[in-house]
Amino acid sequence: MKVENDILILMNDFSEKLIGVQVSAIQRAKMLYEFVTPNIEILTTKFNKKFLEYSYYHMHRYGLNNEIKARNLYFDILAIKDSNFKGSVTIKSCYYHYSEKVSSLHEKYYDNRNNLKMYVVYSNNKYDEAQRINYINYFNNKKKFRRDHFIDNGLRVLSQILDDNANIDREEYFDQKGVVRIIKNYKNKKLLNIYIYDGFGLIQKICSNETELITWWLENYIVKEKSIFIVDGGPHHIVPLKFIKDIKIISVLHSNHIRFGEDVLTGSFNSFQRKKLLETNDSVHACVILTDEQKLDIEIRLKSHCPLYSIPHPVLVQPQKNDLVSRDINKLIIISRLELEKNIYEAINIFKLVVKIMPEKKLYIYGDGSEKNSLIKYVEENNLSNNIFFEGYTNDISEVLNSTTLFLMTSLYESFGLSISESLSHGVPVLSYDFKYGPRTLIKHNKNGFLIKNKDTNSAARTIIQYYENLNVMESMVSQAYDSTIWLSSENVSKMWIQLFKSLD
């Protein structure tokens, strides 16, 4: 044990499809557990009725088999700890006259006057063959007045009471015994207050906002003496912690601090809250920046700032080497959220130039996002449907990376480029635009990848073609890619965190 403090990693949620911030939080937790201290928990504050399912799946996916607790504010207060509890949900015949199946997962219930009374949405579940209810909408005089939510084990966990305009008027959260433990009251879509009850129906606390609720939960369920919080979220996640005594707060900056396209020394900060946090000496006890370059830019920009530390994301495991012979020589990949800032259109433009010379090459794009349909249409318009394929979200990144020979990144900006380090650790060279921040920290040009001037599609395409024309170069770069992430090993990165923790004493 290197640190005696409890380490509490605070983030917003466990989503079905993890984003980079969530992945980095889980990976850091595993690293710290293995090399620093066993006293680690991951905390989430957002209500997500799939919390038990998603947290269990993702923690096990990263090799954390109950070593680290994942806890949620709502599930703690509601005392729901075991998804194996099986609630019983039956729709009593006295509530309806007949039902109509809309689909296998949707069913409508009517009264004897053919008025819609309930709209039931079912969910596929893994507990047994019984059909479980996801949620029920209740109607009266053709107006929806309530929605009940159920978790996958059949337990009703939330009722939302709606006003005449179908806006939420009140939310009631239930424990396993059906006792209301949290009530949220709203008016004109704004939260008025939050009542917290114990298991006997007695008021424990009245909060005026979500911040007070989070603070109350942390103080009463989580915090021990000298706890250290690592916050993987925006500056607003810091606010609930400011009211808690005798703790240390570390903020992790996962994004560019300056708005895209603006100069790092004169441009606008991407949020007022982030600027205030960075420039205030006592806002947090430390702020972790993922690259030396970004840390230096902040130090030059702000004469006064909070304590800054440069610590990269770790590479948890150095995968077994997979030589070029066992890879698909024609397969290039992108793993990314399909959003505008990821600039996938530019990658398509590059690949269009590549296939004019090498028509056998294929680009596989893994990920999802709001631009997916537009990107598919763009590929079709450019007659590239036989060369570019959208594979959706993948949970098995290692399998994908072990099968390919080049990773493309044309993002407009990143803070580190977690996908770059993952690719290199699997022996996949990376061709990336040279933007702030991340690529130049990880990629050594013509060694383990290529750094290309922003928007220089011709140079990028020419580089890809030259790379595939020489097998000896490819073999050398695959080997160097593997070796280039050794400095990011869990053991090395954990030492940086230990130094930070000791500086807080």
What SS3 state is found at 232?
coil
Average pLDDT on 28-39 reads: 96
Residues 6+ apart with CB under 8 A from 492: 314, 486
**pLDDT band for position 1 (50/70/90)?**
low
Tens digit of each residue's pLDDT (9 = 90 or more) over 279-338: 998 899 999 999 999 999 999 999 999 999 999 999 998 888 988 999 999 999 999 999
* 324-488 CATH fold: Rossmann fold (3.40.50)
Q: Is 261 left (phi over 0), alpha (psi -120 to 50) or beta?
A: left
Question: What DSSP string describes 13-28?
Answer: ---SS--HHHHHHHHH
Share of the chain above pLDDT 90, in %: 78
Mean pLDDT across the stretch 206-227? 96
Measured distance CA(311)–CA(19) in Å, rounded:
19
Give kind and range of the element (H or E) at residue 8: strand 7-11
- pLDDT value of residue 123: 82
Q: Taking each helix axis as running N to C, give the angle between helix 372-381 and helix 344-357, from 0 to 180 degrees, rounded to the nearest 10.
A: 30
Q: Which phi and psi angles does 404 have, rounded to 5°?
A: -115, 175
Amino acid 385: pLDDT: 97
**Burial call 454-485: b when 16+ CB within 10 Å, e when fewer:** eeebeebbbbbeebbeeeeebebbbebbbebb
Domain 7-81+213-310 in CATH 3.40.50.970: no
Contacts of 150 (CB under 8 A, 6+ apart): 49, 87, 89, 132, 133, 134, 135, 136, 156, 157
CA-to-CA distance for 458 and 462, rounded, in angstroms?
Answer: 6
Model pTM score: 0.90
The proportion of the chain whose per-residue pLDDT surpasses 70, expressed as a percent, equals 96
Contact 149, 156 (CB under 8 A): yes
CA distance 289 to 126: 41
What are 137-191's pLDDT values in tens digits?
999 999 999 999 999 778 899 999 999 999 999 999 999 999 999 999 999 999 9
- Is 80 exceeded by the pLDDT of residue 92? no
Let me know: does 229 contact 10? Beta carbons within 8 Å. yes
**Which structure tokens are listed for 313?**
């994301």
For domain 93-208, is the CATH number 3.90.930.1? yes
Identical fold for domains 93-208 and 324-488, yes or no, is no
Domain ranges within the chain, ordered by starting residue: 7-81+213-310, 93-208, 324-488
